[in-house]
Amino acid sequence: MASKRERGLHELYADDPERADALVFGRRTGDSRRGFLKNAGLAGMGAAVGGSIPFAAMMPAGLVPAAMAQPAQQPQAGPAADKGPKVLKMDGKAELAVLGDKPLVAETPAHLLDDDVTPTDKFFVRNNGLTPDPASMPSDPKAWKIKIDGEVNSPMEITLGDLMARFPNVTHTLMLECGGNGRSFFVPEARGNQWTNGGAGCAEWTGVRLADVLKAAGLKSSAVYTGHYGADPHLSGDATKPSISRGVRLEKAMDEHTLIAFRMNGKDIPLIHGAPVRLVVPGWAGSTSAKWLNRIWVRDKEHDGPGMGGFSYRMTRKPIVPGSKGDEKDTVILESMPVRSVVTFPAHGTRLAAGTRKIDLRGHAWAGDNAVQSVEVSIDFGVTWKKAEVKAPVNKFAWQRFTASIDLPSAGYYEIWSKATDTKGVTQPFQAGNWNPQGYGGNPISRVAVLVEA
Amino acid sequence: MKPVTAITVSILALVVTLALDRAGVLRQPAVPVAVTPTPAPAPSAAAAPAPSARGGTLAKGAIPRSLPPDAHHQDTIDSLPPGKGRDETFYLCAACHGTALIKQQGLSRELWEASFQLMIDRHGMAKPDDADRALIVDYLSENFPPRRKGRSGDNPFLK
C-alpha cells in the first residue's frame, strides 16, 4: 500500500512537479518562487515525508522532498533495480550500492564515507572491463611487469619487485573519484552509471612516484601526455581490445602525488581495487588511475586510447541545451574534479528521538586539484546558511572534514544541505549545471533528510 | 515475432559461448566461482591446481580465491521489460554488459541513437543491419525514455 502511494508520488513529481505540489499537497507557487502549503496540503506532505515540515514556507515549489527523492541510505536486499539499489555481496567489501554488475560498479552510501580515511571495504568500485582472473596473474606478484615506453630514451619493462626496491616508497592520503560522480543529479538523465555522491573515497596509498619512474626512463622533449593500460579484459572478452585506456597531461603525471601504488591502507591492494599494482592520479577522473597497471605509454600528443574521445570524460566547451545531442568537437577533457561536499552524519533517513533540538553533523568536502576553503550548511532549504568548521587536509589531495552544530527548533522533517567552496572561490550550485551528454561535473549541494520524532 | 536475423543468431551463439566459457564448461575451472567468505575448494576443482599454487600476493593471500560478481554474472531476457525488440536488444547489448546498465538510463531517441553509435565506435560492437538497429533503438527509446524533469517541465528549446 505505502509503496504504491510512494511510486505514484514519484511519477507525479516526474511528470510535472509544480502540478504535483498543487494536486497532492495543495501547495501553490507564490511570487517568491517558493511554494507555501495550505493547511491540508501541509498535513499531506507531512504525512508523505513522515512528519511536519517546520520550514515548509521556505521550501521551493516543485522540490521533491529529499525523503522521497532519494532512497534511505540502507540499500534494500532483493532482486535488482525494481526495489532500489542492490546491495553488494562480496568478500572483503561492505554493503555498497550496486549500480551495475557487469561491469561491476558499486557506490558508497554517504554515511559510509564517515571515516577520516576510507577503509578498503567501504571503497567504491568502478570497473570498465572484467575483473582479471587471479589465475592469470603471476604466482609471485613481485614478478608482475610494467612496461614504460613511447617518448622515453630508455624504454623499460620493470617488475613490481624492482620498482619497489629501486624508487623511494611514499605514502599519501589521496582522493579518488569516478569522473561521473554526481551524474544522477542531472535533469534530464545523462548517459552512464547513475552515481549519487558515492563514487569517491579517500584511502591511504603507498607506492612510488610516477615522476621518479618517468625520469628514470628519460623523458624526451617530445613527451606531452601519458596513456595508461591495465590487465582487465574488455567486457566482450576480446583480448585484443583494452577495456579502457586513458591518460593525463605530463604535468599531472609528474605531480609528486601521482603514484604507482601497491598498497592501500597499509595492505596489499585487493584484487577488485587493482592488485597487485595500480595508478593513483588524485583529484582527476578515476578512470586515469588504471587498475592492474601493466603499461604506461608516453605520448607525443594527447592520448587517444578508448575513453579519450567522443563525449567520454569530456565537458562541453559552451553550455548546451540539457538533453540535446551536443557536438563532440566542441568539448574539453574533464581534468580536475569539481568541488563537492557530503554529509556523512547523520545518515539520510535518520529518525531522531523526540525532544532532539540540536545535532552535531559532520561530513567531507574535496575539490579535485584544489582545496576546500569553506563549507556552509542549511536546514531551511537554503534560506539561511551557517559556516561549518573545516579542517585542513592531511596532505594535498586528501579530503577535508567539516563539522557543524545545528539547532532543530521543533519536531518534524528537516533537510540538511551542505555547500562547499573551493580555494578558487568556486562553489556548489543548487542544481547540476552545464549538462553534457555523459554527465560529468554534477556537483549540486548535498541533501540529507532527517526526522525529529514528535 | 520477427524472424531472427543472421546477426542475432551469431550474437546468440557468442553469448552462449561466452556464457559456457564463464560458467567454466569450456575450460577447467581455475577457481571456485561462488562468492562466499573463505570458500572451500569445490569438489569439481579437485583436478585443477590447488588454489594456493596460483595468484599469490606481496604478503600472500590478499588476492581472493573467489571472483567478484562480474565473473559469474548472468542476466536473462526477463531482466528487460517485454516489448517489440526486447530479444534483439538483449542479445546485442547483454553480450557485453549487464542489463542494469541499460535500465539505469533515461534517454531520448536521439541520445539512444548516439549511445548505440558509441558502442560501435568505442567498444567495437558488431554493426547490425539498419532494420535491427532501428528495432533496438526504438525498444530502448520506448522503454527507457527521460524520466527526470526539472521544475519547469520540458525544456522550451528542445523539439
Is it true that the peptide bond before A346 is cis, omega within 30 degrees of 0? yes
> Is residue A266 scored above 60 in pLDDT?
yes
Q: Which of A42-46, A180-184, A278-282, A442-446 has the lowest mean pLDDT?
A: A42-46
Burial class (CB in 10 A: 0-12, 13-18, 19+), A336: middle
- Give the tens place of pLDDT for each residue, A293-320: 999 999 999 999 999 999 999 999 999 9
Same domain, A176 and A266: yes
pLDDT of A74 strictly over 70:
no
Collect all residues of chain A within an 8 Å Cβ-Cβ radius of residue B95: 236
Q: How many CB atoms lie within 10 A of CB B143?
A: 18
The verdict on A224 and A349 lying in the same domain is no
**A160 or B16, which is more confident?**
A160
At A417, phi and psi to the nearest 5?
Answer: -105, 140
Domain end residue (candidates: A28, A45, A69): A69
Average pLDDT, 10 consecutive residues per value, chain B (159 residues): 45 42 36 35 36 38 54 82 95 91 96 95 89 97 90 66
Query: A181: which residues sit within 8 A by CB, 6+ positions away?
Result: A195, A197, A198, A199, A200, A337, A340, A442
In a domain, B23, yes or no: yes
Query: Can you tell me the mean pLDDT for A88-107?
Result: 93
| Chain A interface includes B158 (CB < 8 A) | yes
In a domain, B57, yes or no: yes
Same domain as A160, residue A60: no
Count up the domains in chain A and report the number. 3
Q: What grid cell was written down for A211?
A: 615522476
Which pLDDT does position B12 carry in this prediction?
A: 45
Q: What's residue A71's pLDDT?
A: 54
Q: Rounded mean pLDDT of A220-232?
A: 98
In this prediction, residue A12 has a pLDDT band, given cuts at 50, 70 and 90, of low
- B2 residue type, one letter: K
- Dihedrals φ, ψ of A143, to 5°? -85, -5
Cell matching residue A331: 568539448
Burial class (CB in 10 A: 0-12, 13-18, 19+), A147: middle
% of residues, chain A, pLDDT over 90: 77
Backbone angles phi, psi at B101, to 5 degrees: -65, -40
pLDDT computed for residue B79 by the predictor: 93
Confidence band for A385, pLDDT divided at 50, 70 and 90 = very high
Residue A135 pLDDT: 85
Q: Is residue A189 part of a domain?
A: yes
- First-to-last alpha carbon distance for chain A, in angstroms, is 24
Are the beta carbons of A99 and B100 separated by less than 8 Å? yes
* Nearest CB neighbour to A275, from listed B63, B71, B158: B63
> Per the domain annotation, does B86 fall within a domain?
yes
| A374 and A322 co-located in one domain | no
User: Is the CB of A304 inside 8 Å of chain B's CB atoms?
Assistant: no
Q: Residue B72 domain-assigned?
A: yes
- Which of A275, A304, A333 marks a domain boundary? A333
| Residue A344 sits in the same domain as residue A212 | no
Question: What is the model's pLDDT at position A413?
Answer: 96
Distance CA A300, CA A297 (A): 10
8 Å CB contact of A139 and B56: yes
Query: Cβ of A84 under 8 Å from any chain B Cβ?
Result: no
**Burial class, B9, CB count within 10 angstroms (exposed 0-12 / middle 13-18 / buried 19+):** exposed
Kindly state whether B130 is in contact with chain A, defined as any CB-CB distance less than 8 angstroms: no
What span, in angstroms and rounded, lies between the C-alpha atoms of A80 and B148?
A: 20
A111-158: per-residue pLDDT in tens? 999 999 999 999 999 999 999 988 888 989 999 999 999 999 999 999
Q: Are residues A275 and A247 both part of a single domain?
A: yes
Domain of A60? 2-69
Interface contact A97, partner B, CB < 8 A: no
Residue B7 contacts residue B129 (beta carbons within 8 Å): yes
Judged by CB atoms closer than 8 Å, whether chains meet at B70 and A131 is answered as: yes
Residue A151 is part of a domain; what is its CATH number? 3.90.420.10
The partner residue sitting opposite A262, judged by closest CB among B58, B111, B151, is B58
- The alpha-carbon gap from A391 to the nearest alpha carbon of chain B, in Å, equals 34
In a domain, A162, yes or no: yes
A403 and A303 together in one domain: no
Q: What is the mean pLDDT of chain A?
A: 88
> How far A63 CA sits from the closest chain B CA (Å)?
7
State residue A78's pLDDT score: 36
Q: Which three cell numbers stand for residue A435?
A: 549538462
Residues A358-378 have pLDDT tens digits of 999 999 999 999 999 999 999
Tell me if A235 and B123 make a contact (CB, 8 A cut-off).
yes
Grid coordinates given for A339: 568541488
Which residues constitute the domain of residue B88? 6-143
| A100: pLDDT strictly greater than 50 | yes
Number of neighbouring beta carbons within 10 Å of residue A118: 25
- Residue A438 forms part of a structural domain: yes
Same domain, A358 and A299: no
Q: What is the pLDDT of residue A86?
A: 87
- A331-347 per-position pLDDT tens digit: 999 999 999 999 999 99
Averaged pLDDT for residues A25-47: 49
A322 and A345, same domain (yes or no): no
Give yes or no: residues A283 and A357 share one domain: no
Q: C-alpha distances in angstroms, A313 versus A128, A196, A255?
A: 13, 17, 21
Chain B closest CA to A105's CA: distance in Å? Answer: 10
Tell me: do A33 and A152 sit in the same domain: no
Judge contact between B63 and A134, C-beta under 8 A.
yes
The residue whose grid cell reads 519536531 is: A411
Tell me, yes or no, whether B109 lies in a domain.
Answer: yes
Residue after which a domain boundary falls, among A312, A333, A354: A333
pTM: 0.81
* Nearest residue to A153 (alpha-carbon basis) of A201, A212, A81, A219: A219
Number of domains in chain B: 1
Nearest CA-CA partner of A75 in A84, A64, A66, A67 = A84
Q: Are residues A166 and A308 in the same domain?
A: yes
How does pLDDT run across A414-454, given as a tens digit for each residue? 999 999 999 999 999 999 999 999 999 999 999 999 999 99
Q: Judge whether B158 lies within some domain.
A: no
Q: What is the pLDDT of residue A44?
A: 56
Q: What is the pLDDT of residue B14?
A: 42
CB–CB contact B149 A276 (8 Å): no
In a domain, A446, yes or no: yes
User: What confidence category does residue A72 fall into, taking pLDDT thresholds of 50, 70 and 90?
Assistant: low
Determine the distance in angstroms separating the CA of B1 from the nearest CA of chain A, rounded to an integer: 27
The dihedral formed by the CA atoms of B78, B80, B83 and B87, expressed in degrees to the nearest 10: -70
Is B78 in the A-facing interface, judged by CB distances under 8 Å? no
In a domain, B159, yes or no: no
| B96 belongs to a structural domain | yes
Cross-chain Cβ contact B73/A14 below 8 Å: no
Nearest of A291, A284, A286 to residue A270 by alpha carbon: A291
Mean pLDDT in residue range A202-227: 98
Give domain status of residue A62, yes or no: yes
CATH code, domain with B75: 1.10.760.10
Per-residue pLDDT, averaged over A81-89, amounts to 69
CB A271 within 8 A of CB B63: yes
Would you call A131 exposed, middle or buried from its count of C-beta atoms within 10 A (0-12, 13-18, 19+)? buried
What's at A360, amino acid-wise? D
Distance of alpha carbon A175 from the chain centroid: 10
> Of the given ranges (A86-90, A164-168, A251-255), which has the lowest mean pLDDT?
A86-90
